[in-house]
Amino acid sequence: MQDIHDFRLFYNRILHAELLRQERTRRRLLVLFATSVLVFALTGFVIYRLQIPSIALLSWIPIAAWSSFLGWRIRKFIAGFKPKIIQMILDFSKHDMKYSHKAFIPQEKFLQSRFFSSKAPYYKGEDYIAGTIGRQHFELCELDVRQNSRVVASMIPVFRGIFFRAKTANEFTGEIVIIPKAERPYLTRTIKDLIRRGDWQLNVKYPDFNEKFITYVSPQANTELIIHESFFGVLYEFAKKINKKVYMSFADGHVYIAVWEPKDILEPHIFRSNVSFKLVSEFYEDLYNIVSVIEEFDRLH
């Protein structure tokens, strides 16, 4: 996959022009919005001065209709921005990838990762991408997973971010689950389920890795066949580089990666400009870093 320096050239030559086109649409929407607010205010002032109830009642019909139309225009802009930009980025990546804005990885596949034990009642996703990396077929999407809190009458996050799943080229038995050590207090149910299944904690030969992650291995797993020893160093550098919470597991013949991302990726703004290299590069860097890890895993296996 092409690196961030090549992506900067792509942004300057092609992507920037598309963002400018989207920016013109956004500005027209803002002018329309501001004009509508002004007209609504003047209409309200006139109706107030006239003090005629029938006119006041009838005036709400066109105001409500226009407000609905304006809201539809804004939603259409937001819904169309992200798919267009993501598709252009995927075309640049040179990998064979397919994209669907509304699709996402189903919950049963999410639970197969062994990261989270809870069958959360709130499970939503978007921005599904599928393709091939080396010999591995993969899929990823954004997920927002929440469960009911036992303490307060609200829902708490289970996971929010990018979830990746790939079929490994080589079949294996058993499982390896790698979770951030800092998240251990919040994953007591997950850890209890792993221990109940007979999994044991593995001390990797990389001290820095053990400082950042906890690794659980099932009794029947042959770690040398599943994961090359040097790959632990690759995973550590990956987590260090992106500075986000990273989970990784090998189970059911698949490799899973979950990267926490608390904010929506590539969501456009309405009241400020979207012509920003940072806005699009954050998405590309996340995609580039995950793909690079899987490319290295494919190379080592």
Which of 75, 93, 111 represents a domain boundary (last residue)? 93
Q: How far apart are CA 272 and CA 23, in angstroms?
A: 9
pLDDT at residue 62, rounded to an integer:
80
Query: Does any domain span residue 10?
Result: yes
Query: Does any domain span residue 281?
Result: no
| Count of domains observed in the chain | 2
CB within 8 Å of 72: residues ≥ 6 apart? none
Residues 72, 209 share a domain: no
pTM comes to 0.85
Residues 167, 44 share a domain: no
pLDDT at residue 19, rounded to an integer:
95
CB within 8 Å of 161: residues ≥ 6 apart? 142, 143, 244, 245, 258, 259, 260, 261, 262
pLDDT at residue 148, rounded to an integer:
81
Which of 45, 66, 93 represents a domain boundary (last residue)? 93
pLDDT at residue 301, rounded to an integer:
64
Residues 256, 123 share a domain: yes
Q: Name which of 278, 279, 232 is nearest 81 in CA terms.
A: 279
pLDDT at residue 155, rounded to an integer:
84
Range of the domain at 106: 97-262
* Residue 72 φ/ψ, nearest 5 degrees: -65, -40
Query: Does any domain span residue 288?
Result: no
Q: How far apart are CA 187 and CA 166, in angstroms?
A: 24
Query: Does any domain span residue 300?
Result: no
Residues 248, 166 share a domain: yes
Residues 10, 120 share a domain: no
Weakly modelled stretches of the chain, pLDDT under 70: 1-2, 48, 52-57, 300-301
Q: Which long-range contacts link 269-275 to residues 24+ away (Cβ below 8 Å)?
A: 269/26, 270/26, 270/29, 270/30, 270/74, 270/77, 270/78, 271/30, 273/23, 273/26, 274/19, 274/22, 274/23, 274/26, 274/81, 275/16, 275/19, 275/20, 275/23
Residues 216, 111 share a domain: yes
Residues 20, 39 share a domain: yes
Q: Locate tokens 């019909």: which residue?
A: 61
Residues 250, 232 share a domain: yes
Q: How many CA atoms lie within 13 A of 95 on its CB side?
A: 28
Query: Does any domain span residue 60?
Result: yes
Q: Locate tokens 């169309």: which residue?
A: 80
Specify the pairing of strand 213-217 against strand 200-202: antiparallel
pLDDT at residue 21, rounded to an integer:
94
Strand runs labelled E in 83-238: 97-100, 122-133, 136-148, 155-167, 176-180, 200-202, 213-217
| 3-state SS string for 262-281 | CCCCCCCCCCCCCCCHHHHH
pLDDT at residue 2, rounded to an integer:
67
Residues 161, 103 share a domain: yes
Residues 102, 194 share a domain: yes
Query: Does any domain span residue 85?
Result: yes
Which of 93, 115, 141 represents a domain boundary (last residue)? 93
Query: Does any domain span residue 295?
Result: no
As a 3-state breakdown, the chain gives helix, strand, coil percent values, each rounded to 5, of 50, 25, 25
253: left (phi over 0), alpha (psi -120 to 50) or beta: left
Residues 124, 88 share a domain: no
pLDDT at residue 54, rounded to an integer:
67
Residues 233, 122 share a domain: yes
